[in-house]
Amino acid sequence: MLGSLKPQPADKILALMGEFRADPRKDKIDLGVGVYRNAEGVTPIMRAVKAAEKLLWESETTKTYTGLAGDPAFNAAMADLVLGEAAGAERIASVATPGGTGACRQAFELIRMAAPAATVWVSDPTWPNHLSMLRHLGVPMRPYRYFDADSRAVDFAAMMADLAQVRAGDVVLLHGCCHNPTGANLTLPEWQAVAELMERTGAIPMIDIAYQGFGDGLEEDAAGLRLLAARLPEMLIAASCSKNFGIYRERTGALIALCDPAPREVVQGTLAHLNRQNFSFPPDHGARLVTIILGDPALRADWQAELEEVRLGMLALRRQLAEALQEAAGSDRFGFIAQHRGMFSRLGATPEQVERLKREHGIYLVGDSRLNIAGLNARTVPILARAVVAVGI
């Protein structure tokens, strides 16, 4: 049986992680996988997370199973964090999932179950694992144009022209903030226009929000999603705690489904059923940390303060890199880096140029020239700027 298996295509982001680790050069720079690093190159455990772990260690009395949907207090805290006042509890069904990826996977399964003929529309480009999971599950998908390669901004006219073709019941996958891989995001008036299009066509939005708090702020990053939630009857949200709580390996996320109050119980039961089919009970440790932090005013304030430091640090690096590139290139063609938000920007380099950055300069970017801003620091910004110009980007 097992001898019949064919090699699977490697995930390009994870393959790059392996290549970087194997590179013996001491001055190599990892701008690949989307993991935050501070100026010392460390992915720190946030202060509030450490404090919550201590509290949990002191107070936890059992490791018995939680519910299939996870801890209800976590689900409520996540709905509040993501949705704010935009939707009442009577419309919300939600489950804890293994990270944001787990939430996306469960959402895609839910779509396949509820509407097997629906097409999922994905931005071109999007996070490669969206495409890979949809393909794996056999869910029909279509791309919509999103990124203008020349200006490195959202091509909103093209996006709306493509989305004008959606049919009622199709699902449109949008990045809540900090678009991965481009860093180019919708403005609030553009979210408004998307909401109108959804209303007009009867399509259903699915929002992947993996970087809330990394773009313009915790509330600002959820504003587009909340606008859709307040206007549309149905919506799916895949939320991740990996980045904004820095608990990557704890696999903490939530799938939230907004629906009419009448079918809410069936939707909730279906989400729990899907958890049971795939992994049974969701991981609990990270979820409990998040619940403790969000429920304790002092810890919450400290978490928000540290998250804000992280966000402002990335914004400062964006400005420094844009300036260093302006100096090195003698032009402001890289000004878009300061406009983008979140961890990523797409530089707009060819695969050959990305390969040369790796080979000749030990600088690792994803092949589509996605750059992780949080992998940089004040020392490496000018090194990258000189290398970018040296390979002719």
- Residue closer to ligand LMR by CB (options 180, 380) is 180
State the nearest-atom distance from the C-beta of 287 to ligand LMR, in Å.
Answer: 19
State the nearest-atom distance from the C-beta of 203 to ligand LMR, in Å.
Answer: 25
State the nearest-atom distance from the C-beta of 15 to ligand LMR, in Å.
Answer: 11
Of 237, 256, 177, the C-alpha closest to 212 is: 177
**Contact map string, positions 101 to 140, toward ligand LMR, x by CB under 6 A:** --------------------------x-x-----------
Label residue 266 exposed, middle or buried (CB < 10 Å: 0-12, 13-18, 19+): exposed
- Residue closer to ligand LMR by CB (options 108, 156) is 108
- Catalytic annotation present for 210: yes
State the nearest-atom distance from the C-beta of 140 to ligand LMR, in Å.
Answer: 23
- Residue closer to ligand LMR by CB (options 81, 366) is 366
Within residues 179-218, the interface with ligand LMR by CB under 6 A covers 180
Catalytic member of 30, 162, 170, 208:
208
State the nearest-atom distance from the C-beta of 127 to ligand LMR, in Å.
Answer: 5
Catalytic member of 103, 195, 210, 324:
210
Note whether 13 binds ligand LMR by CB under 6 A.
yes
Note whether 236 binds ligand LMR by CB under 6 A.
no
- Catalytic annotation present for 243: yes
- Catalytic annotation present for 208: yes
Catalytic member of 87, 243, 322, 338:
243
Note whether 33 binds ligand LMR by CB under 6 A.
yes
- Residue closer to ligand LMR by CB (options 252, 291) is 252
- Amino acid letter, 87: A
- Contacts with ligand LMR by CB under 6 A lie at 13, 33-34, 127, 129, 180
Catalytic residue list: 127, 208, 210, 243
